[in-house]
Amino acid sequence: MIPILLGVSLGAFVFLHAIPGDPARMLAGPDATLEDVRAVRSRLGLDRPLLVQYALFIRNAVAGDFGRSYRSGAPVREVLGQHVGPTLELSIAAIGLAVVTGMGVGTLQAVRRNSLPDYASTVFSVAGISTPAFFLGLLLIYVFSVDIHWFPSGGMSGLRSLVLPAVTLAAASAAVIARFTRSSLLEVLGEDFVRTARAKGVPGRRVLMRHSLRNALIPVVTLIGLEFGFLLGGAIVVETVFTWPGLGWLLIQSIGFRDYPVLTAEILLFSLQFLAINLVVDVLYAALDPRVVYA
């Protein structure tokens, strides 16, 4: 994990500083003189060589200091702390909805293979995968906020305001999980031990839940972990559409202001979250399959 984080930090640092735009000019204002801009650049340390800036960033980051935001002047840790909670709340709600819906639909498709429910679910799954998040979000806002006034169109003001962004964020993940659950479960249902259990007269529900679904869960759990990582880092569009004050919304605001400290810290945080989720998924393998043993 440490080499990956170092590589991500280097790539993010170089890429962000290569983006056109000068944060010193933005801070100094449109009427600032060249001397004023140079003074701001010196105060921010932007006049130093890029390699020196990166070395200082790594040294401070190891100690938990990511600097101060160019836009607000507050410590980056405080800025991120204000926006981590909303993103976690949205992502957990979305992944919970995606898992319940996706695994339920996928199991139905596998059990009722080549039937009308299977075909109908496949159509909805493909539609969920193919529909862009921003379009689905705007469509839900128009129907449920503008037309019938069931839910707020944006902001974070209680449980009702969470429904539309969570559904928008969960749609594609639920569709992918459903397709993956179907294919994995169909493969297990064709195994010899399932046919043996049925031949012994084991009830169909027990065969499905205890023998089939548990053995089909390992690849599905891997996918769920990856999807949760993508939701944490990929809620940018949904948070922007619904003005949800999370990390994705903060990222868009920081890009516009060229707030390098906040942007670099956010990218590192997204990477760390993704790596931690993959670690948890690896540990869950042993819980799901007794044959998996970690030395």
pLDDT in tens, 227-260: 887 777 667 788 888 888 888 888 888 887 788 8
Compare 280 and 295 and report the one with higher pLDDT: 280
What are the pLDDT digits (tens) for 110-131? 777 777 877 887 888 788 778 8
Candidates 4.10.520.10, 1.10.3720.10, 3.40.50.300, 3.30.450.40; correct CATH number of 82-288?
1.10.3720.10
More confident residue, 211 or 38: 38
Report the number of secondary-structure helices (H) and strands (E) in the chain. Answer: 14, 0
Which letter does DSSP use for residue 75 in this model? B
Is 91's pLDDT higher than 80? yes
Average pLDDT, the chain: 80
CA–CA distance, 137 with 219 (Å, rounded to integer)? 29
pLDDT at 263 over 80: yes
More confident residue, 207 or 152: 152
Q: Supply the pLDDT for residue 153.
A: 81
What does pTM read for this prediction? 0.76
Confidence (pLDDT) at 111: 77
pLDDT tier at 40, thresholds 50, 70, 90:
confident
| Residue partners of 223: CB distance under 8 A and separation at least 6 | 176, 177, 180
pLDDT confidence bin for 212, thresholds 50/70/90: low
- Going from N- to C-terminal start, the domains of the chain cover 2-62, 82-288
| For the chain, percent of residues with pLDDT exceeding 70 | 87
- Is 53 strand, coil or helix? helix
Tell me, what's the pLDDT at 199?
67
Higher pLDDT, 52 or 194: 52
Q: Is residue 38 scored above 80 in pLDDT?
A: yes
- pLDDT-based confidence at 295, cuts 50/70/90? low
Question: Around Cβ 182, how many Cβ atoms within 10 Å?
Answer: 25
Burial of 121 (0-12, 13-18, 19+ CB in 10 A): buried
What integer pLDDT is reported at residue 233 of this predicted model?
Answer: 66
* Distance in angstroms (rounded) separating the CA atoms of residues 191 and 258: 56
Give the pLDDT score at 293: 63
pLDDT at position 210 over 70: no
C-alpha 224/C-alpha 173 separation (Å) is 8
End-to-end Cα spacing for the chain: 19
More confident residue, 154 or 137: 137
Q: 38 vs 191, which has greater pLDDT?
A: 38
- 197 band by pLDDT with thresholds 50, 70 and 90: low
